[in-house]
Amino acid sequence: MNLLAFIMQTGGHIAGWRHPLATDSALCNVDYFVSCAQTAERGKFDAVFFADSLGYPASRSAETFEGQETPKLDPLLLLSAAVPLTQRVGLIGTASTTYNEPYPTARRFATLDHISRGRAGWNIVTSTMENEAHNHGLERHMGHAERYQRATEFVDAARKLWDSWQSGALLADQDSGRYTDASRISAVNHSGEHFTIAGPLNLPRTPQGHPVLVQAGASADGKAFAARYAEVIFTSHPAIDSAIGFRREMHERAAAFGRSKDAIKVLPAITPYIGRSREEAQAFKQELDELIPLPIALEKLETLLGGFDLTGHDLEGPLPALPPEYLEVQSSTRDRVLEAAGQEGATVRKLAYQVAGGRTSSAAIGTAEDVADLLSEWYEAGAADGFIISPPVLASGLETFVDQVVPILQARGLFRKDYAGETLRDHLGLEAPANRYEKDPQLRIRPEIW
């Protein structure tokens, strides 16, 4: 079983920052984020995972409620700070393919992989907020299909750049005076619809070959992209059956690209609410939900439903059927909300608090044993290769999971008691990618600068 720790400011619950257990002075404190990475390493997690966005979240309120979204420190800088203070835990940062360029992005992640001795991962996003476009000189956010077309070309270009130095290219031979073997460095000469890049990268091949690629899109375009490139798929499902179906689908899609099912890890997000008893855990969840103002919860639900107005609808009744126009636009998030709405006992009020509080992550509520049981059930049923753990309140929630749930999983033989390897690929059981220029020398291009 693989475990990643999802670090979202003061917690995975939207009101986590309001809870007395939250580390309220942590939002711009690098020591806090480093300590979360150290806690994950103490629990033998595969990696810590930092999200990112390049804009300010839209809200009807002038005062943003979400402690998850603001402030947002640059994840690669945070992860770099964690490098000398951790030894084994993987370090996954987020970067957008819509508002970045391939060369500097490939270079930043290659740098992180080098300085961490092979622990870097890239969470690939295409960005979602209109404000991000406005912050990059654009009038509107790029359309869904176009974003994924750009992302496809972006990742292709980045992978060429990571391959542009073959093994043994860096000599630094003081006796001969040869610093590099030029025959083992290739230009990439990428020319596409979105990017023209000469290459080569100005860094040698990294310890992992490529940083581990992570992706979370669950739309049709997102799933096609993940099947082609992702090595870790971050997903979310309210029920085990849909998780089993999704993992099976991703294996089939990956096979269509000639990839083995062993080349990808499907990790659903889980938010654990842990108590000494089930009643205490339920009370903890309810306490957090009640810290969300109802208008904020309803706004979140309406947003995830594509702007559907819930004004006047019975909050204690089921979610009303969406008109056809709200179903025309492709949205995996909306579909997950509708799936949750179909669960027994779901009401508009409960659904609003569920999606606002946990962002459609599955909630595991109960004792540490109960949480371990749920993870074990999903894993053994083929619903997951592991999980992305998003504690509702940080840093205490991660410490509780490490201290109480991890030992149970270890005792059951489902999770490691210590790291067996050095790199993130070692932890995840992923092979290093072959270098395209070593595999096919015909692809090598002498850089024009020589």
User: Cβ of 313: how many Cβ atoms within 10 Å?
Assistant: 13
Q: What is the SS3 assignment for 204?
A: coil
Q: Are the C-beta atoms of 214 and 121 separated by less than 8 Å?
A: yes
Which of 79, 74, 65, 85 is closest to 5 using CA atoms?
A: 79
Task: Taking residues 87-94, report their average pLDDT.
Answer: 98
Q: What is the reported pLDDT for 448?
A: 77
Instruction: Name the residue type at position 248.
Output: R
* 339-353 residues labelled b (16+ CB within 10 A) or e (exposed): ebbeeeebebbbbbb
What are the pLDDT digits (tens) for 362-408? 899 999 999 999 999 999 999 999 999 999 999 999 999 999 999 99
What is the number of structural domains in the chain? Answer: 1
Q: Which residues contact 278 (CB under 8 A, 6 or more apart)?
A: 365, 366, 367, 370
Q: Is residue 430 part of a domain?
A: yes
Q: Is residue 316 part of a domain?
A: no
Higher-pLDDT residue of 226 and 310 is 226
Q: Is residue 330 part of a domain?
A: no
Q: Is residue 313 part of a domain?
A: no
Q: Is residue 337 part of a domain?
A: no
What residue numbers bound the domain in which 244 lies? 2-278+362-443
Strand partners, 353: none
* Helix/strand/coil percentages in the chain, nearest 5: 40, 15, 45
Q: Is residue 27 part of a domain?
A: yes
Residue 124: give its domain's CATH number: 3.20.20.30
Residues in the chain, total: 450
Classify 149 in phi/psi space as left (phi over 0), alpha (psi -120 to 50) or beta.
alpha
Q: Which residues contact 442 (CB under 8 A, 6 or more apart)?
A: none
User: Cβ of 163: how many Cβ atoms within 10 Å?
Assistant: 24
Strand partners, 243: none
What pTM value is reported for the model?
A: 0.91
Q: What is the SS3 assignment for 292?
A: coil
Q: Is residue 319 part of a domain?
A: no
What are the pLDDT digits (tens) for 421-434? 999 999 999 999 99
Confidence of residue 142 (pLDDT cuts 50, 70, 90): confident
* Beta strand spans in 163-264 (E): 170-173, 178-180, 190-191, 196-197, 212-215, 232-235
Q: Are strands 170-173 and 178-180 parallel, antiparallel or unpaired?
A: antiparallel
Q: Are the C-beta atoms of 32 and 395 separated by less than 8 Å?
A: yes
Q: Is residue 17 part of a domain?
A: yes
What are the pLDDT digits (tens) for 98-112? 999 999 999 999 999
